Structure 1
Amino acid sequence: MTDPATTPRARARHFVILLGWVSLFADLCYEGMRGAIGGYLAVLGASATAVGAVAGTGEAIGYGLRYASGALADRTRRYWALTIAGYATNLVAVPLLALAGSWPMVAVLVGLERLGKAIRSPAKSTLTSFAAADLGAGKAFAINEAMDQIGGLAGPLLVAAVLVWRGETASGYAWAFCLLAIPAAGAITVLLRARRLYPDPRSLESTPPSDSATALGPRYRLYLVGVALVAIGLADWPLLAYHLKHAGVLTDRWLPVAYAGAMAIDGVAALAAGHLFDRSRRRGHTGAGIVALFVLAGAAYGPLVLASDAATPLLAIAGVALWSITRSATESIGKALIAAIVGRDQRGRAYGLYYLVWGIAWWAGSLLLGALYDRDRTIAAAVAAGALVAGGAVVALSARARSEI
């Protein structure tokens, strides 16, 4: 977090690393909270239905409002204000969980935190995209994803350490939530420094957007169809963890370790994906083929993980690794592709719509795969693989679509 250099590429790199630190601190706070919410609700006496309602409502808020916030970012161009306001909710909502005496109050505060995510995500992705011209869109978003995963690993470990120290009681959780205010404050501090150093982040984009990348045309819309299919096929971790436990592959104590390993693979894969994406862009392509490649590479995760049992743990390991590779593409170069095909004046709206489509499709896919798993896990695995193959194919085809309306 030093002062920026003077060359355009160095300035872009410094800007992206500052935003990466913001992601690291913020995810440390959020993932720490997320990992503790289930246990905290149990301590407060909530039912399984209440736990599901809290999680589902929070995610619905987090994804459902992103298109509106993205459109607001484009219209006002107040990217910094929206990003700072969104991250500031962490500093308010997470420590207040320590004072929540009932699960409805927890639901309100989780919803507030997710509202902040909805406000900041399109604006922050747009900020990152401004550094793409000189640094490379793939590298810019890959750095952000890698640092994000570091925070995502550290947060649950911090909360676990606090609960070991203070006990798995309401008081112990209160201590954890209060301590998570420290990384939340760190995210705001770094963000304010970035705004001071780069008050007009649009100036980082030294290469003017081309005329062919100024609207949400057929190429972008076809890409969203592929994104929806990928989201349907990419199961959320809880379903994989449920299978690993009930099939006797892993015990409870090893599930967090498996998740940490998956996130580590995600971070490394994101950096590799970013490099390949930028190399494809330098050769004159959109980069959609690289996104499709990483999606297709992980298409076999479902058949491998859901076929595993106590006698075949290597299948589970391979499947989780493939799941992480595909996930890395959606979290890094999947966003970088938007910077490549959409002009900067509409990127807030483009990112907002991207997040909205992803959230709805992911929610629907989670319900579908869970229901199919209860009936026949072989069918669930086949549907997951088929959706990813279809999604990868559509993403690849989007490169051939016209970019204009």
Structure 2
Amino acid sequence: MNLEPPPRDVALRFVLLLGVVSLLADVTYEGARSITGPFLAMLGASGALVGIVSGLGELTGNGLRLFSGWLADRTRRYWFLTLAGYTINLLAVPLLALAGRWEIAAALIIAERTGKALRTPPRDAILSHATARVGRGWGFGLHEAMDQIGAVAGPLLVAAVLRIEHNYRLAFALLLAPALAALGVLLRARQQYPNPQDLEPSTGLAARGFSRAFWMYMAAVGLVAAGYVDFPLIAYHLGRHSAFPAEQIPLLYALAMGVDALAALIFGRLFDKLGISLLALVAAVSALAAPLAFSGGRLAALIAMAVWGAGVGAQESVLRAAVGALAPASRRGTAYGLFNAFYGLLWFTGSAIMGVLYDISLKSLIMFSVAAQLLAVPLFLAAVHAGKSPRPRSAAR
């Protein structure tokens, strides 16, 4: 009598383990990111320096993802790079409690981003093997939903500490607990699933190079990223025009994050049924966020936050799932490195352009955002019809 659990159940448990890791990790570094700005200011950094440190951290992180994805495929050391990246990413946070100068704090902030960049492509490659069994959209959707729980819980935990003690160093020090818990769960996942590639049935995809559909998809992803207005700019606009009092704006972000988590699950299920063509619909709907946020009143802003959160949920789940469907398993790390770096670069570029346009013309900003995302629609559809991977495989059972 065979008492072994079905492959789908084994894969689902692995997805959930990695989801717990992401939840605890997000409690750690999203909690820290909510106060790094004022902490740097307390240490004597100027506003310009805070901006430079933040920008340099993101730039370094995006560039390194290209290298870490390639290195993972070249060495096949996916677990080693994932563990090393998480260790740097997570332990840099509580070390901020010991920083006595802004230069040391800045180095730790950049180290945290560097660790995240090092581990993200190999982690996503590992996750993609398991999602082939449970459904790529559903697997990445579950992972993103759990990730967002941590992203909301972390800042709330830090806010509670500051309300009681008003001590930044204590807040950073307490984040050691979820950091160590995340590393513990990750080590357990590594022990239980040392060869996650065994969870993925053969897809028949060629191992050399990337398909035409993949590059069309990447072009569409770049347009979505460039046209997606960043929340800080929306918050700046709403605060400047007194649409909402300052204390209510964080609640708008919480609303968006709640929708994000729910949307990741819904879009994940839909992706497993509809494939990449779903992303054309997502891009078209997401294009409504900028017009609603920048040209409407309070009700329009609330709707904009829901639309914006749904779009982020789709981007963090099914955009990643599609990479796994389009790239051969042997090149999955490189594919995720390209995806993350390209997405981050175009997001940064688009955000900078829209920031400049905001001071010139709100109409121009809205037109840029809408046009970029609508231009992605035919490219997503072209990727579907390129004939390589128009629809994801059904979850193997």
TM-score bracket, normalised by the shorter chain, equals over 0.9
Structure 1 position 393, deviation (Å): 2.5
Amino acid of the residue matched to residue 249 of structure 2?
A: L
Matches within 5 A, 1:152-301: 152-167=151-166, 172-205=167-200, 207-211=201-205, 215-280=209-274, 287-301=275-289
Q: Normalising by structure 1, what TM-score?
A: 0.93
Provide the rounded CA distance (Å) in 2 between the counterparts of 1:241 and 1:95: 29
Provide the rounded CA distance (Å) in 2 between the counterparts of 1:182 and 1:341: 38
Cα contact 1:212–1:403 (8 A) shared by 2? no
Structure 1 position 5, deviation (Å): 6.5
- 1:376 and 2:353 are equivalent in the alignment: no
- 1:114 and 2:113 are equivalent in the alignment: yes
Amino acid of the residue matched to residue 357 of structure 1?
A: F
Local SS of the residue matching 2:203: coil
Matches within 5 A, 1:16-95: 16-95=15-94
Structure 1 position 249, deviation (Å): 1.5
Structure 1 runs, 4 residues or longer, greater than 6 Å off: none
1:245-292 deviations in Å (ceiling 9; x for gaps): 111112221121111110010010010001001112xxxxxx111122
Answer with 217-226 or 91-100: which moved more.
91-100
Provide the rounded CA distance (Å) in 2 between the counterparts of 1:74 and 1:162: 42
Provide the rounded CA distance (Å) in 1 between the counterparts of 2:4 and 2:161: 40
Cα contact 2:255–2:305 (8 A) shared by 1? no
Amino acid of the residue matched to residue 183 of structure 2?
A: I
Answer with 74-83 or 208-217: which moved more.
208-217
Cα contact 2:293–2:300 (8 A) shared by 1? yes
Answer with 320-329 or 48-57: which moved more.
320-329
Provide the rounded CA distance (Å) in 2 between the counterparts of 1:273 and 1:91: 29
Cα contact 1:270–1:332 (8 A) shared by 2? yes
- 1:345 and 2:330 are equivalent in the alignment: yes
Amino acid of the residue matched to residue 300 of structure 2?
A: L
Amino acid of the residue matched to residue 265 of structure 1?
A: V
Amino acid of the residue matched to residue 258 of structure 2?
A: A
Answer with 331-340 or 103-112: which moved more.
103-112
Provide the rounded CA distance (Å) in 2 between the counterparts of 1:81 and 1:213: 23
Answer with 376-385 or 11-20: which moved more.
376-385
- 1:331 and 2:316 are equivalent in the alignment: yes
Structure 1 position 27, deviation (Å): 0.7
Answer with 228-237 or 87-96: which moved more.
87-96
Provide the rounded CA distance (Å) in 2 between the counterparts of 1:213 and 1:69: 19
1:360-401 deviations in Å (ceiling 9; x for gaps): 101111110000001111211111111111123312221122
Q: Which residue in 2 is equivalent to 1:317? A: 302
Unaligned runs of 5+ in 1: 281-286
Answer with 184-193 or 103-112: which moved more.
103-112
